[in-house]
């Protein structure tokens, strides 16, 4: 039987609309400060990201993820089994009751479920349920195309709320002179990436900043989204990614937890900027605010990188494995830098979470030459990635 095909532009439209709905859910949670503290639950040791002493998941994470899975699955039923996210769909309320967040077609059922998690706060539960089941958050048409892709070759990775710590703390710091936020709500992103199951190549990415700007008059948050299609013959990006950089200096964004040795070497040739959030760091590269995002540690996962990876690939860049490119002794003559890019695959039964970890680091880039120059600098200074 022939495989079902779907319009690439229809999938894009669906994922953009899902990201906007996700942003609205995140905004509702963040505006309920007294309630927000109730919703934070420390992750179990099995789920915990090794980089953090305390890593949290929230009902907001789970609800956003399940909403996206539901909406995409309703529009494209054949994709349902290959839609995966960071979070489990269970949550524990303050009374110690374990609750599974499963969404039906009924907003009344969703409101009842959320009210149970929220210890009877019916008003906020109803508000959230209205957004989850809303059909009014429709965006303008993003892109029209006749390009068809086989549904049985598409997988999707979701990070419902990347940079959860910044989401929880809720700070809104001013940007520096490069227009980069070091920490705070602007670093929070919804990340959605579609990829080819056979090749592992990202073909469509959506990144949404739910807290991009706060209106002075209304005190309401405005989101901003970015998207890209990287599927031959379609190579297209949103207008939000097409601004030109005015920078003169070379800039690399890092995590503040990187080793002093690595930072000292990089600082001899580049300006270093520290920010929060893997998704936000990759977005800075895609938006031309920095040249590279370098991470020498294995603290990101497929859900962190799949969406941003598509944004970068459409610009001729991508995300390569840090340890693999570091181990190439003559990077200019290797001819295979782009072959070192992350390849994505789907969850299977009883597959450990570490299977989806980008072990030993990543480099996000727009230009291959930028990666080559960095690796040559690190080799010149005798930096070893296995330290």
> Which residues are annotated as part of the binding site?
86, 159, 161-162, 304
Which residue has 């429709």 as its token pair?
A: 138
Rg (CA), the chain: 20
Share in percent of the chain as helix, strand, coil (round to 5): 40, 25, 40
Active site residue 330: no
Active site residue 159: yes
Active site residue 162: yes
β-bridge partners, 234: 231
From the candidates 17, 66, 71, 159, which is the catalytic residue?
Answer: 159
From the candidates 58, 164, 237, 305, which is the catalytic residue?
Answer: 164
From the candidates 161, 229, 331, 363, which is the catalytic residue?
Answer: 161
Kindly list the distances between the CA atom of residue 310 and the CA atoms of 81, 124, 235, 261, 380, in Å, as whole numbers in the listed order. Answer: 21, 35, 10, 31, 31
Distance CA 282, CA 287 (A): 9
Is residue 178 a contact partner of residue 262, using CB atoms and an 8 Å limit? no
From the candidates 17, 71, 234, 304, which is the catalytic residue?
Answer: 304
Pull the structure tokens for residue 313: 């690939």
Pull the structure tokens for residue 132: 């989850």
Q: Which of 18, 7, 30, 13 is nearest to 220 (CA)?
A: 30
Q: Which of 155, 101, 158 is nearest to 125 (CA)?
A: 101
Q: Which of 38, 39, 56 is nearest to 47 (CA)?
A: 56
From the candidates 17, 61, 87, 373, which is the catalytic residue?
Answer: 61
Distance CA 72, CA 15 (A): 7
From the candidates 66, 87, 162, 370, which is the catalytic residue?
Answer: 162
Active site residue 161: yes
β-bridge partners, 5: 150
Give how far the C-alpha of residue 232 lies from the chain's centroid of Cα atoms, to the nearest Å. Answer: 23
Pull the structure tokens for residue 85: 């996210």
From the candidates 71, 86, 291, 373, which is the catalytic residue?
Answer: 86
Active site residue 86: yes
- For the annotated binding site for Mg(2+), the residues are 86, 159, 161-162, 304
Three-class DSSP category at 37: helix
Active site residues: 61, 86, 159, 161-162, 164, 304
């Amino acid at each position: 039987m022939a495989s079902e095909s779907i319009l690439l532009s229809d999938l894009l439209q669906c994922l953009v609309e899902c990201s906007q709905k996700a942003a609205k859910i995140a905004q509702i949670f963040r505006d309920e400060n007294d309630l927000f503290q109730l919703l934070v639950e420390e992750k179990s040791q099995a789920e915990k990201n090794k980089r953090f002493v305390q890593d949290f998941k929230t009902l907001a994470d789970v609800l956003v993820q399940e909403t996206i899975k539901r909406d995409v699955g309703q529009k494209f039923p054949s994709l349902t089994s290959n839609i995966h996210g960071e979070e489990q769909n269970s949550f524990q309320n303050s009374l110690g009751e374990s609750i599974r967040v499963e969404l039906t077609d009924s907003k009344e059922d969703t409101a009842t479920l959320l009210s149970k998690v929220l210890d009877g706060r019916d008003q906020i539960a109803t508000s959230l349920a209205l957004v989850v089941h809303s059909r009014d958050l429709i965006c303008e048409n993003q892109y029209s195309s006749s390009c068809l892709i086989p549904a049985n070759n598409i997988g999707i990775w979701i990070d419902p709320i990347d940079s959860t710590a910044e989401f929880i703390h809720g700070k809104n710091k001013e940007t520096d002179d490069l227009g980069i936020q070091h920490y705070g709500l602007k670093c929070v992103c919804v990340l959605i990436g579609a990829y080819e199951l056979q090749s592992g190549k990202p073909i469509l990415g959506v990144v949404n900043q739910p807290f991009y700007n706060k209106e002075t008059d209304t005190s309401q948050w405005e989101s901003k989204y970015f998207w890209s299609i990287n599927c031959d013959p379609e190579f297209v990006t949103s207008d939000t990614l097409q601004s030109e950089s005015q920078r003169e200096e070379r800039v690399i964004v890092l995590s503040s937890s990187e080793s002093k040795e690595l930072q000292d070497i990089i600082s001899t040739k580049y300006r270093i900027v520290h920010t929060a959030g893997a998704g936000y760091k990759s977005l800075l590269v895609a938006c031309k605010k920095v040249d590279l995002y370098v991470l020498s540690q294995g603290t990101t996962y497929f859900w962190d990188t799949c969406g941003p990876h598509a944004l970068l690939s459409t610009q001729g860049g991508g995300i390569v494995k840090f340890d693999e490119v570091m181990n190439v002794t003559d990077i200019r003559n290797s001819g295979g830098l782009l072959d070192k890019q992350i390849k994505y695959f789907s969850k299977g039964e009883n597959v450990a979470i570490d299977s989806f970890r980008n072990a030993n680091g990543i480099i996000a880039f727009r230009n291959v030459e930028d990666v080559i120059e960095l690796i040559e600098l690190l080799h010149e200074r005798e930096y070893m990635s296995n330290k």
